[in-house]
């Protein structure tokens, strides 16, 4: 407030500041005389631009000069004049926009003082509100998702909605009025037949009781498998009661389905448990050792039989050892010797066309002599299943059959067929190495009479001893065979000079000339021996043996007949 204003006017200005009302006083010559702080807050552009005693026209002129441009400036005095006229003629408040605010201004001529102008910011208009919806309560209740009834203190229904009428099979809600819930409940069942109604009489009685004494929710069963949950609330007046009937049929069905699913799951879990126990029992009772190795290589599972077959401590395998460690343990002391692939092929027919899924089959011999057949099958998802069978007897039998097929049963020497096979193999080797071979064809002299005179058993004994004589004279690397009857052959390997074969023939003839002790008597035989050499006398087994045979005949022809002893 400027200092020249009357004191009461200054007080008025501060009061109007408190009300945030801007104020400006002009004298009767329209010169500015006084203003308050709110005026400067509303019109900050007037700060330092308003001067006491200045004509309002000057103020306006300054105002327009700062804002008008170009041709508009020509209109300046017109605008100033219009502003002065508005100022002098204003008697009613009007609104205008200034700096984003809507401001109302009032102007009042004061006799002897001049004119007082007041400004105030108008509150922004309240946003338009949507009209309140008109609610039709009755229609709304008829669309409620539950059947609603009101009953009086006698339990008589005083109001019901349409869903309630539908639940109880009534023509409309009016039909429920004056009735009680138990009555309507029995009516519903009566329409299904007297027998069913009788079955539900107890429920109706219980319903009566529940309505009288408890306010807790209860469930009702209606025809068609419908299940209702009834909730009750005390009404506002007297003993009036509100009952809400919720159709929980689907909920109930879902609950039952869930319970059934739980029961089924429990049954499946029990079955799985039983089957697993059964499987354990079967696996442990098996004659076959089983080991399940995980994808990372640990022995995850084993059965009892595996422990016996491998002589392993149960605690060791329970620790889920690495498979490689188990094999290392078994190999220590030669306890896991791999048998030849030929032995495996003879025993198992490997590769086993009829054993799908087996990726590996091997024969292992324990230091105890037991022979184990180990089969390995890839497990889907990683890992290997090993099966271990004790095939010791089968293996021994197989070995025996093989021995029989290649050896002479009486003397234990190689038979003719095997001898020729070995001879062929040695010739092939000798061909490459340039080695020399010697073949001795040995035919006993005077053998037949031993059979005739001393019997067949004595003859057998003579044959067995002749075989031993030849075996003892031959080197470890030589092969001795009985070709048949009283004929034998020796394949001499690694000889360097032809006379080495002759020397063996001489030693053999001398040894076989010695008397042989049989069970009955000492008998004497001799031997005619023919020698053939590879490569000099034949290039294949038959030719070589034939050459030795012929040499033997020549020797026999030279020999003198020997007397019987």
Ligand X SMILES: Nc1nc2c(ncn2[C@@H]2O[C@H](COP(=O)(O)OP(=O)(O)OP(=O)(O)O)[C@@H](O)[C@H]2O)c(=O)[nH]1
- If we measure between CA atoms, which residue out of 318, 270, 277 comes closest to residue 298? 318
- Residue span 162-181 as binding mask against ligand X, x where in contact by CB under 6 A, dash where not: --------------------
> How many CB atoms sit inside 10 A of residue 187's CB?
16
CB of 527 to ligand X, least distance (A): 9
Please check whether residue 365 is in contact with residue 339, taking contact to mean a CB–CB distance below 8 angstroms: yes
Choose between 23 and 462: whose C-beta lies nearer to ligand X: 462
CB of 292 to ligand X, least distance (A): 56
Choose between 293 and 505: whose C-beta lies nearer to ligand X: 505
DSSP 5: S
CB of 411 to ligand X, least distance (A): 9
As given in the structure block, the two tokens for residue 334 are 């030669």
Choose between 325 and 452: whose C-beta lies nearer to ligand X: 452
Residue span binding ligand X (CB under 6 A) among the ranges 66-74, 191-199, 276-284, 455-463: 455-463
Of 22, 147, 182, 459, which one interacts with ligand X (CB under 6 A)?
459
Of 451, 471, 502, 550, which one interacts with ligand X (CB under 6 A)?
451
In order, the DSSP letters of 225-241 are GEEEEEEEEE-SSTT-E
SS (H, E, C) 54-121: CEHHHHHHHHHHHHCCHHHHHHHHHHHHHHHHHHHHCCCCEEEEECCEEEEEEEEEECCCEEEEEEEE
Choose between 445 and 549: whose C-beta lies nearer to ligand X: 445
Choose between 247 and 461: whose C-beta lies nearer to ligand X: 461
SS (H, E, C) 419-464: HHHHHHHHHHHHHHHCCEEEEEEEEEECCHHHHHHHCHHHHHHHHH
Of 456, 475, 554, 562, which one interacts with ligand X (CB under 6 A)?
456
Helix 392-406 vs helix 416-433: angle between axes, to the nearest 10 degrees?
A: 80
In order, the DSSP letters of 294-321 are -TTSBEEEE-HHHHHHHT--HHHHHT--
- If we measure between CA atoms, which residue out of 94, 98, 93, 64 comes closest to residue 81? 64
Measure the CA–CA gap between 463 and 269, rounded to whole angstroms: 74
Q: Which of residues 462-481 bind ligand X (CB under 6 A)?
A: 463
CB of 471 to ligand X, least distance (A): 17
Of 142, 335, 460, 500, which one interacts with ligand X (CB under 6 A)?
460
Q: Which of residues 267-296 bind ligand X (CB under 6 A)?
A: none
Please check whether residue 303 is in contact with residue 284, taking contact to mean a CB–CB distance below 8 angstroms: yes
- Residue span 478-497 as binding mask against ligand X, x where in contact by CB under 6 A, dash where not: -------xx-----------
- If we measure between CA atoms, which residue out of 482, 488, 484 comes closest to residue 548? 488
CB of 389 to ligand X, least distance (A): 39
Choose between 160 and 523: whose C-beta lies nearer to ligand X: 523
Choose between 452 and 536: whose C-beta lies nearer to ligand X: 452
Residue span binding ligand X (CB under 6 A) among the ranges 54-62, 332-340, 379-387, 459-467: 459-467
CB of 565 to ligand X, least distance (A): 14
Residue span binding ligand X (CB under 6 A) among the ranges 57-65, 122-130, 264-272, 454-462: 454-462
Choose between 398 and 451: whose C-beta lies nearer to ligand X: 451
Please check whether residue 372 is in contact with residue 364, taking contact to mean a CB–CB distance below 8 angstroms: yes
- Residue span 411-450 as binding mask against ligand X, x where in contact by CB under 6 A, dash where not: --------------------------------xxxxxx--
CB of 377 to ligand X, least distance (A): 50
Choose between 11 and 410: whose C-beta lies nearer to ligand X: 410
CB of 486 to ligand X, least distance (A): 5
Residue span binding ligand X (CB under 6 A) among the ranges 59-67, 208-216, 457-465, 467-475: 457-465
Asked if residue 529 binds ligand X (CB under 6 A), the reply is: no
- Site size toward ligand X, by CB under 6 A: 14
- If we measure between CA atoms, which residue out of 241, 229, 246, 65 comes closest to residue 152? 241
Provide the β-strand partners of residue 114.
110
CB of 466 to ligand X, least distance (A): 11
Measure the CA–CA gap between 295 and 297, rounded to whole angstroms: 5
Choose between 390 and 445: whose C-beta lies nearer to ligand X: 445
Residue 356 is inside which H or E element, if any? none
Provide the β-strand partners of residue 178.
none
Chain centre to alpha carbon of residue 101: 69
CB of 538 to ligand X, least distance (A): 23
Measure the CA–CA gap between 523 and 516, rounded to whole angstroms: 5
Residue span binding ligand X (CB under 6 A) among the ranges 175-183, 190-198, 239-247, 452-460: 452-460
Of 138, 139, 410, 513, which one interacts with ligand X (CB under 6 A)?
410
CB of 354 to ligand X, least distance (A): 41
Q: Which of residues 143-162 bind ligand X (CB under 6 A)?
A: none
Measure the CA–CA gap between 350 and 356, rounded to whole angstroms: 12
All residues at 6 or more sequence positions from 435 whose CB lies less than 8 Å from its CB, including other chains: 429, 493, 494
Choose between 223 and 485: whose C-beta lies nearer to ligand X: 485
Choose between 272 and 513: whose C-beta lies nearer to ligand X: 513
Measure the CA–CA gap between 232 and 98, rounded to whole angstroms: 63
CB of 488 to ligand X, least distance (A): 12
CB of 507 to ligand X, least distance (A): 20
Measure the CA–CA gap between 384 and 84, rounded to whole angstroms: 109
Please check whether residue 437 is in contact with residue 493, taking contact to mean a CB–CB distance below 8 angstroms: yes
Q: Which residue is nearest to ligand X (CB)?
A: 459
Measure the CA–CA gap between 544 and 534, rounded to whole angstroms: 7
By CB under 6 A, name the binding residues for ligand X: 410, 443-448, 451, 456, 459-460, 463, 485-486
């Amino acid at each position: 407030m400027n200092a020249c204003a009357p004191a009461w006017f200054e007080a008025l200005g501060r009061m109007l500041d408190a009300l945030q009302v801007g104020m400006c006083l002009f004298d009767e010559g329209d010169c500015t005389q006084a203003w308050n702080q709110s005026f400067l807050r509303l019109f900050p552009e007037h700060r330092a631009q308003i001067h006491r005693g200045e004509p309002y026209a000057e103020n306006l002129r300054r105002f327009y000069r700062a804002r008008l441009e170009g041709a508009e400036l020509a209109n300046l005095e017109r605008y100033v004049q219009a502003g002065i006229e508005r100022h002098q003629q204003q008697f009613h408040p009007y609104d205008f926009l200034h700096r984003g605010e809507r401001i109302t201004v009032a102007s009042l001529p004061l006799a002897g003082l001049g004119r007082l102008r007041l400004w105030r910011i108008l509150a922004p208009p309240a946003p338009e509100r949507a009209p309140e919806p008109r609610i039709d309560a009755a229609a709304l209740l008829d669309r409620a998702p539950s059947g609603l009834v009101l009953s009086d203190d006698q339990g008589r229904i005083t109001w019901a909605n349409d869903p309630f009428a539908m639940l109880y099979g009534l023509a409309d809600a009016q039909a429920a009025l004056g009735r009680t819930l138990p009555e309507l409940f029995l009516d519903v069942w009566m329409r299904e037949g007297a027998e069913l109604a009788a079955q539900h009489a107890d429920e109706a009685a219980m319903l009566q009781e529940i309505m009288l004494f408890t306010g807790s929710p209860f469930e009702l069963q209606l025809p068609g498998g419908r299940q209702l949950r009834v909730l009750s609330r005390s009404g506002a007046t007297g003993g009036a009661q509100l009952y809400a009937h919720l159709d929980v049929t689907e909920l109930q069905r879902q609950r039952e389905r869930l319970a059934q699913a739980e029961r089924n799951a429990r049954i499946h879990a029990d079955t799985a448990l039983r089957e697993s126990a059964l499987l354990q029992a079967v696996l442990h009772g098996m004659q076959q050792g089983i080991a399940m190795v995980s994808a990372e290589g640990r022995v995850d599972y084993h059965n009892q039989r595996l422990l016996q077959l491998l002589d392993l401590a149960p605690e060791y395998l329970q620790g889920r050892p690495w498979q490689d460690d188990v094999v290392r343990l078994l190999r220590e002391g030669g306890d896991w010797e791999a048998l030849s692939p030929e032995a495996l092929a003879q025993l198992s027919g490997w590769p086993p066309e009829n054993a799908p899924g087996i990726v590996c089959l091997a024969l292992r011999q324990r230091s105890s002599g037991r022979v184990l057949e180990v089969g390995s099958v890839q497990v889907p998802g990683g890992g290997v299943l090993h099966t271990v069978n004790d095939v010791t007897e089968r293996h021994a039998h197989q070995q025996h059959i093989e021995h029989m097929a290649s050896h002479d049963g009486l003397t234990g020497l190689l038979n003719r067929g095997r001898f020729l096979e070995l001879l062929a193999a040695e010739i092939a080797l000798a061909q490459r190495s340039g080695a020399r071979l010697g073949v001795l064809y040995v035919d006993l002299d005077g053998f037949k009479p031993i059979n005739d005179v001393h019997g067949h058993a004595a003859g057998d004994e003579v044959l067995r001893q002749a075989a031993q004589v030849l075996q003892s004279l031959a080197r470890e690397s030589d092969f001795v065979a009985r070709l048949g009857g009283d004929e034998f052959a020796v394949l001499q390997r690694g000889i360097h000079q032809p006379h080495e074969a002759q020397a063996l023939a001489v030693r053999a003839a001398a040894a076989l000339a010695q008397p042989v002790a049989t069970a009955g008597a000492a008998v004497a035989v001799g031997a005619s021996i023919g020698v053939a050499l590879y490569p000099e006398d034949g290039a294949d087994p038959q030719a070589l043996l034939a050459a030795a045979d012929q040499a033997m005949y020549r020797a026999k022809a030279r020999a003198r007949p020997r007397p019987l002893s």
